[in-house]
């Protein structure tokens, strides 16, 4: 019969090869944009804390003015860049969104919660100099 050492060596080799195969598959899925855990997210996932930099634009919708941020850079809660948000306009909401109207046309840094890549609930807002 086979010795115990030979069985252990074969099992260890098999597990190692399987691990490399799974790592290669995960890398391919991430580069193809199929994985939600990739750093290059197309949009912010729902309810994620972010820091965005961009220019404030104010639009009139009916009788109300609404502030939007033309995004130039986004950092997610873990400090990774969400590259898919660059160049998009995102609506600013929340209690501090009215402060953004005063900064129309200026470059700002906004911290808040991104709601599915469509609205940013503003927690803090500062002009970037």
Stretch 98-120: mean pLDDT, rounded?
88
Q: Please provide residue 6's backbone torsions phi and psi, each rounded to the nearest 5 degrees.
A: -65, -40
Q: Is there a domain that residue 70 lies in?
A: yes
Q: Note if the pTM is more than 0.75.
A: no
End-to-end Cα, the chain, rounded Å: 76
Number of domains in the chain: 2
34 and 52 together in one domain: no
Quickly tell me which residue has 């003015």 as its tokens.
Answer: 65
Beta-bridge partners for 44: none
81 and 99 together in one domain: yes
Q: How far apart are CA 45 and CA 38, in angstroms?
A: 11
Question: Mind listing the pLDDT tens digit for each residue in 35-48?
Answer: 444 444 445 556 78
């Amino acid at each position: 019969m086979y010795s115990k050492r030979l069985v252990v060596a074969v099992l260890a080799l098999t597990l190692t090869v399987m691990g490399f195969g799974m790592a290669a598959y995960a890398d391919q899925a991430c580069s193809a944009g199929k994985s939600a855990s990739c750093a290059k997210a197309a949009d912010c996932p729902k309810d994620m804390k972010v820091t965005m930099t961009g220019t404030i634009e104010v639009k009139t919708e009916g009788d109300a003015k609404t502030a939007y941020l033309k995004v130039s850079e986004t950092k997610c809660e873990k400090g990774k860049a969400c590259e898919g948000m660059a160049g998009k306009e995102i609506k600013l909401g929340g209690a501090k969104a009215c402060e953004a109207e005063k900064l129309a046309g200026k470059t700002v840094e906004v911290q808040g919660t991104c709601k599915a890549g469509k609205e940013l609930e503003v927690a803090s807002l500062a002009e970037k100099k």
